[in-house]
Chain A
Amino acid sequence: MTQQKQAILDRLKQGVIDYDEEAVKEAAQEALEEGVDAYEAIMDGLSAGMGVVGDLYEKKEYFVPELLMSADAMYVGLDVLRPHIKEGSRGERKGQVVIGTVQGDVHDVGKNLIKIMFEVAGFTVHDLGRDVPLEKFVEEQMKTDADIVAISAMMTTTMMGMQKAVEMIRQRNPNVAIMLGGAPVTQEVASLFGADGYAESAGNAVQEALKMLKNLREMRKP
């Protein structure tokens, strides 16, 4: 890798960490001018920066406002780079995800952060939005044949709907991987509700999803 290319990737990464939309936009444009592969710029620049942001959140150096600002900076970079991704350069699509916030809950900040992490990791994301009726998760999974259904709840008072959603999805398709997340959800709750994965934060959601997919594909092998 040339020094110049590495410097551009570093600027993309640092721009996301510093939630500096202008710096990210400039670096993304320069990446294209200098012939840096757009997919590489996304993965090794923007996505790498978001990974650091996730770590900073875990260490309690960053909080939700910082995560949101970094996500905005990342979207600025994605808007510039995404139209230039070459066919075949992104490698194998990792999988499809249906994502949404459970009915009765209109909080979607966490869901949107997880969504962006899935997008940059190469998943195809079907976002149902917030306050989503439970049957809609089932319908969308069946329609898209998504590998993963990711359900979020922000409040204890809405968390209980997740259990029913898991049951409904399982009834129609026992082989789909289900991931739960949100402020009141713990690993214990996710297991109890019959989910396969638990997104503790935006940082670990994708890793957890990849693990779930691996298990799922093992299971599907003849």
Chain B
Amino acid sequence: MSQVAALTPRERIARLFHRQPMDRMPFFSGQGMVTLPAIQSLGLRFPQIHLSAEAMAAAATATVERYGFDAAVVPYDMCTVPEALGLRASFYEDASDVLYPTIPAKWGSPEEVTVPPDILERGRLPVVSQAIGLLREGPGADRAIGTWLLGPFTLAGQLVELDVLLKLTMKDRPRVERLLDRLTELIIHIGRAYQGMGVDYISLREMGTGADILSPRVFRELVQPYLRRILDSWQPPRVLHICGATDPIVDYLQECGAEALSVDHKNDLAESRRRVGDSTLLFGNLDVYRLLGQATVAEVGSKVRESAAAGADAVWPGCDIWPELKEENLFALAEAVKGLPFVAERGAH
């Protein structure tokens, strides 16, 4: 393998998606990636980082700088779009524990969901847009910027009571399809806007559709067409993330057309690599909770090398990083990355 001169994080991420040689394996995420020590170093509390563009961008930057991630990722919570559509979010501003925002009361039926034309101006979507702008223009422009949106089915589960939605997939599927249709257009619209603001990659997170929730057949018939439509409408680079049981649907995921698939620790990465071949990048399967919350520092390095050997193209957490992690483990993760070469025979086409 020829030596590649040291790259900036942004160059490294661009080269990864373009299948060009790199100096080392990238270390980044497409899910929530912020830690409590980074937030506290700014004198902020967890609920504050969701509420203002300055705090959101500062927390992302502080996390990147503290651990050496290649990319800053915003936002952190799943309520930005539901709020923009008119639902109220809880931010647990008085809680002493780390609690992500939630939507306490959802709509009772799909027909209640309506999409206003000025969606990007509503709720906290302007906060996310401004945070992307601050990250793009602010200091540290050599790191990449990532963002993400929920896939239409998972988003639907944030808007309509999940049991209602899941039962409708069997009782009256056209009602679900009509909702997914509307949400698909909405997700395309917001994603394009974020891309226009200069993000370096975008993740589509459809985590509510793994094979432990929906059958592979329902995934293919009901979920996959919308994921394809969204990914077709966005510019590369695009990542498709699903957590939970993904082994039975990995072929369907690949057919969705993203440059990269992101999976969690329940995925047999070596088998997924065998099935998707070398044409799709594979990220993840690091067990965030085990690795960053429980493992010893020594285990962290070996797990990262295991994941790379199984076929991962990046060191990429399989889920949101838990903000109250054992910080020494995340430092160990960052250290382990330095020894990981880019797998040239797989990536450089």
Which residues of A come within 8 Å of B, CB atoms? 60, 63-66, 68-69, 72, 103-107, 109, 112, 131, 155-161, 164, 183-184, 189, 192
- Is the CB–CB distance between B99 and A65 below 8 Å? no
The answer to whether A105 and B32 have CB atoms under 8 Å apart is no
Proximity string of chain B (96-115) to chain A, C-beta cutoff 8 Å, 1 when within and 0 when not:
01111011101000000000
**With contact pairs A63-B218, A189-B289 given, residues A158 and B166 touching in the complex (Cβ less than 8 Å):** no
Known pairs A63-B213, A64-B213, A64-B214; A158 contacts B100 (CB<8 A) = yes
Which B residues contact A (CB, under 8 angstroms)? 32, 90, 92, 95, 97-100, 102-104, 106, 162-163, 166-167, 169-171, 211-215, 218, 244, 248, 288-289, 293-294, 319-320, 322, 324
12 A-B contacts, Cβ less than 8 Å apart?
A: A63-B218, A64-B212, A64-B214, A65-B218, A68-B167, A69-B167, A69-B171, A106-B102, A131-B90, A156-B289, A158-B99, A159-B289
Are A104 and B100 in contact (CB-based, < 8 A)? yes
**Interchain CA distance A189-B319 in the complex, whole Å:** 16
A109 and B97 within 8 A (CB): no
Asked whether B102 lies within 8 Å of A105 as measured between CB atoms, the reply is: yes
Contacts of A106 in B (CB 8 A): 102-104, 106
A160 proximity list for chain B (CB < 8 A): 98, 293, 322, 324
Residues of A within 8 A of B244 (CB): 183
**B212 to A, closest residue via Cβ:** A183
Contacts A65-B169, A104-B99 known; list 8 others, CB within 8 Å.
A64-B212, A65-B166, A68-B167, A69-B171, A156-B319, A157-B100, A157-B322, A160-B322
CA distance A65 to B168 in the complex (A): 8
Task: Count chain B CB atoms within 10 A of each CB in A63, A155, A159 and give the residue with the most.
Answer: A63
For the complex, give the distance between the alpha carbons of A60 and B211 in Å: 9
Q: In whole Å, how far is A164's beta carbon from the nearest beta carbon of chain B?
A: 7
Give Cα A112–Cα B294 distance, bound, in whole angstroms: 30
* Bound CA span A60–B217, Å: 12
Main secondary structure of the interface of B (DSSP, over half): loop
Q: Hey, which chain A residues are within 8 Å of B212, CB to CB?
A: 63-64, 183
Q: Which residues of A contact B289 (CB under 8 A)?
A: 156, 159, 184, 189
Across the interface, A112 reaches (CB within 8 A) one of B163, B169, B211, namely B163
* A104-B102, A156-B322, A183-B212 given; A64·B95 CB < 8 A: no
Min distance, Cβ B276 to any Cβ of chain A, angstroms: 22
Residues of A contacting B106 with CB < 8 Å? 106
Task: Report the nearest A residue to B157, measured CB to CB.
Answer: A107
Q: Quick check: A109 and B162 within 8 Å, CB to CB?
A: yes
Q: Which residue of A lies closest to B169 (CB)?
A: A65
